[in-house]
Structure 1
Amino acid sequence: MQKTEVPYGSDVSSGTYACADCGHEYSNQSKTSLPPCPKFHADTHPKRAWNILTGAGDAEQDPHPKPH
């Protein structure tokens, strides 16, 4: 089963993503750390994740961000 949501900080392939909380769209090339939504605010963005619209999402070899 392919994931439809990836948390901030994930390694991802190129594609288009939409904020899981506010819908803001973001397109990118492959990234080693998916940034937070530019509209992020802790009170309004509890999911802290992106929905995958196009692309493969999380990099298979590093599926989750490392905790800080």
Structure 2
Amino acid sequence: MQKVYAPNGSDVSAGTYECADCGYEYSNQSKKSLPPCPQRLDSVHVQNGWKILSGQGDAVEDPYPTKSGK
């Protein structure tokens, strides 16, 4: 089952992501951590994550970026 949501800071593959709060689209060309939405200061953001439009989303090796113990 493919994931449809990735929280800020998740390690993801290249793809296109949409802010779960405001709809801002972000394209990631290489594997890296998802940043916070750049529009988070302009409007209320409570979900603090991204909808996965294309790409693999949250990496299996880092499923929960806010949990410690790595």
User: If the length of structure 1 is used for normalisation, what is the TM-score?
Assistant: 0.87
Tell me the alpha carbon deviations over residues 18-42 of structure 1, each in whole angstroms, 9 at most, x when there is no partner. 00000000001210x210000013x
CA distance in 1: counterparts of 2:35 and 2:3, whole angstroms: 18
User: What corresponds to 1:40 in structure 2?
Assistant: 40
Amino acid in the other structure paired with 2:31? S
User: What corresponds to 2:61 in structure 1?
Assistant: 61
- Listed as ranges, the gaps of 5+ residues in structure 2 are none
Matches within 5 A, 1:19-30: 19-28=19-28, 29-30=30-31
User: What corresponds to 2:14 in structure 1?
Assistant: 14
- Listed as ranges, the gaps of 5+ residues in structure 1 are none
Given that 1:8 and 1:50 are in contact with CA atoms closer than 8 Å, whether structure 2 keeps it comes out as yes
Given that 1:11 and 1:64 are in contact with CA atoms closer than 8 Å, whether structure 2 keeps it comes out as no
- CA RMSD after TM alignment: 1.9
How far off its partner does 1:67 sit?
Answer: 4.1
How far off its partner does 1:2 sit?
Answer: 1.9
